[in-house]
């Protein structure tokens, strides 16, 4: 799909002809694999609460895998069933008809095109204002490539998951974001264009330097005098912190309204950054039709200062509770983490800290040396923000994401330039 339309982020009801898309999403999601909905629901509730009980982390990861399995199952369907699935979100091509999706005939309402049901091209749309055959909703799709068809189907599944998340999430701020993304994907499926998010949120990265660059600068600024072994340990501590941040589920703005440390201005800024995090980092973890960015690469000092106190407390607790999960040779990471967090807190509070100066760069020799060590030494054991030990180097990036939607490499490159 080519570059898509920009949709302004605002709360709008799903009504009129677009109500057809909501009904189709509800019908299809309820009759399809409920595990996929569980993943999106789990993610939405976790995003609202800010924390994830340890027992739920495994469930979330397995649910994300089930989403991918569901997509793969749909990708492997016969072409006729794929087109039937697409027809439910494709505009009728009959001249003058405003129907935005074929609706299953009444007698087949509870049958699922993702399983054994394959409607005939002559079956009429149930929409009273349409009544045109299924073929009129797919006539423009019969010649598209298999990869383009699968990309559209993946976006539809993501859209259905978002629709179910909207129904379940209680936080109004989060619900508005899900509604916005649902409408964005719905429009992109209709127009067969790639989802592009423009508007008041801005484009990532949102601050310079980003958190990753500042944290790695801190390693040089504070610990460059240490011997190579100790310096390597502090580097692994820093990477463990960044991994925790990239998997962290931020509290919704409404959950932080009672926080006495937040000024009105801080609360307003946090609401913007929370929305950005949902749109660019969190939701794309289970909706890979959207481009995903790592939190530490697109946010900077402003967001980190807002969440650091509570997040660092959680990380310290995780270090204590998960100490026994770490290999013996990695437990120094646990020991050094409080020291590292205190040093980072001090630099967050200092107005003139060099690590937050976008022009500050460690010497090239240090950067090259760190890269070399990173290649020679296995990645450190990491702690997930959800309370379970994460695999080394684990990321939330989605499986099977189209190549042109992978995380921007140029953002990562800015960290070392």
Q: How open is the CA angle 247-41-81, to the nearest 5 degrees? A: 110
Q: For residues 225 and 227, what is the distance between their CA atoms, to the nearest angstrom?
A: 7
- Taking phi over 0 as left and psi of -120 to 50 as alpha, with beta for the rest, 78 belongs to beta
Its pTM stands at 0.78
Kindly give the pairing relationship between strand 389-390 and strand 2-3: unpaired
* Paired residues of 193 in beta bridges: 2
For residues 147 and 182, give the distance between their C-alpha atoms in angstroms, rounded to a whole number.
22
Joined tokens for residue 73? 């199952």
* Residue 398 CA from chain centroid, whole number: 9
pLDDT of 414 reads 44
The pair of structure tokens assigned to 275 is 């929305």
Q: Alpha-carbon distance 409 to 404, whole Å?
A: 11
Tens of pLDDT along the chain (417 residues) come to 544 434 344 333 333 334 445 555 555 544 444 434 444 444 554 554 444 444 455 566 787 888 999 999 999 999 999 999 999 999 999 999 999 999 998 888 888 889 888 999 999 999 999 999 999 999 999 889 999 999 999 999 999 999 988 888 889 989 999 999 999 999 999 999 888 888 888 999 999 999 999 999 999 999 989 998 899 999 999 999 999 999 999 999 988 887 777 778 888 999 999 999 999 999 999 899 999 999 999 999 999 999 999 999 999 998 888 888 878 878 888 899 999 999 999 999 999 999 999 999 888 877 777 667 656 555 545 565 543 333 333 444 433 333 334 433 444 444 444
- What CA–CA distance (Å, rounded) separates 407 from 394? 15
**272 CB neighbour count, 10 Å cutoff:** 16
Cβ(232)–Cβ(326) below 8 Å: no
Distance CA 144, CA 70 (A): 22
Euclidean distance between CA atoms 414 and 417, whole angstroms: 5
pLDDT of residue 22: 52
Residue 96's region, left for phi above 0, alpha for psi from -120 to 50, else beta, is: left
Which among 247, 246, 244, 220 has a CA at the least distance from the CA of 232?
220
Report the pLDDT value the prediction gives residue 50, as an integer from 0 to 100. 45
Domain ranges of the chain: 7-194, 211-395+406-415
pLDDT score of 331: 85
Q: What CA–CA distance (Å, rounded) separates 361 from 217?
A: 7
**pLDDT value of residue 58:** 57
CB 343 within 8 A of CB 222: yes
Residues in the chain: 417
Find the distance separating the first CA and the last CA of the chain, reported in whole Å.
32
Q: What HEC string does the chain produce?
A: CEECCCCCCCCCCCCHHHHHHHHHHHHHHHHCCHHHHHHHHHHHHHHHHCCCCHHHHHHHHHHHHHHHHHHHHHHCCCHHHHHHHHHCCCCCCCCCCCCCCCCCCHHHCCCCCCCCCCCCCCCECCCCCCCCECHHHHCCCCCCCHHHHHHHHHHHHHHHHHHHHHHHCCCHHHHHHHHHHHHHHHHHHHHCEECCCCCCCCCCCCCCCCHHHHHHHHHHHHHCCCCHHHHHHHHHHHHHHHHHHHCCCCCCHHHHCCCCCCCHHHHHHHHHHHHHHHHHHHHHHCCCCCCCCCHHHHCCHHHHHHHHHHHHHHHHHHHHHCHHHCCHHHHHHHHHHHHHHHHHHHHHHCCCCHHHCCCCCCCHHHHHHHHHHHHHCCCCCEECCCCCEECCCCCCCCCCCCHHHCCCHHHHHHHCC
């Amino acid at each position: 799909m080519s570059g898509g339309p920009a949709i302004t982020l605002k709360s709008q009801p799903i009504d009129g002809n677009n109500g057809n898309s909501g009904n189709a999403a509800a019908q299809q999601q309820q009759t399809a694999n409920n595990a996929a909905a569980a993943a999106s629901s789990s993610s939405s509730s976790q995003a609202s609460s800010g924390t994830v009980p340890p027992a739920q982390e495994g469930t979330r990861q397995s649910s994300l895998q089930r989403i991918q399995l569901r997509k793969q199952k749909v990708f492997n369907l016969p072409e006729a069933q794929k087109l039937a699935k697409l027809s439910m979100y494709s505009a009728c091509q009959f001249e003058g008809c405003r129907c935005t999706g074929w609706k299953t005939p009444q007698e087949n309402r509870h049958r699922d095109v993702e399983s054994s049901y394959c409607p005939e091209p002559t079956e009429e749309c149930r929409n009273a204002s349409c009544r045109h055959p299924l073929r009129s909703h797919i006539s423009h799709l019969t010649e598209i490539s298999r990869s383009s068809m699968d990309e559209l189907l993946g976006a539809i599944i993501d859209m259905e998951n978002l629709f179910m998340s909207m129904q379940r999430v209680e936080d109004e701020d989060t619900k508005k974001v899900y509604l916005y993304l649902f409408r964005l994907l719905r429009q992109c499926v209709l127009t067969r264009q790639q989802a592009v998010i423009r508007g008041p949120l801005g484009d990532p990265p949102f601050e310079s330097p980003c958190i990753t660059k500042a944290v790695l600068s801190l390693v040089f600024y504070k610990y460059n005098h240490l011997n190579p072994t100790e310096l390597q340990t502090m580097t692994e501590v820093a990477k463990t912190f960044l991994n925790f941040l990239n998997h962290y589920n931020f509290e919704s703005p409404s959950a932080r309204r009672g926080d006495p440390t937040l000024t009105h201005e801080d609360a307003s800024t946090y609401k913007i950054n929370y929305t950005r995090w949902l749109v660019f980092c969190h939701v794309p973890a289970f909706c890979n039709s959207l481009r995903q960015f790592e939190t530490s690469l697109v946010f900077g000092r402003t967001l980190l200062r807002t969440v650091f106190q509570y997040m660092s407390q959680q990380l310290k607790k995780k270090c204590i509770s998960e100490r026994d999960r770490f290999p013996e040779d990695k437990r120094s990471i646990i020991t050094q983490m409080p020291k590292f967090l205190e040093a980072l807190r001090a630099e967050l509070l200092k107005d003139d800290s060099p690590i937050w100066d976008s022009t500050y760069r460690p010497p090239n020799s240090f950067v090259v040396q760190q890269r070399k060590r990173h290649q020679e030494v296995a990645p450190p054991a990491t702690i997930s923000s959800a309370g379970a030990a994460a695999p080394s180097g684990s990321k939330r990036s989605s499986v099977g994401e189209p190549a042109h939607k992978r995380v921007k490499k140029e953002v990562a490159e800015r960290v070392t330039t």
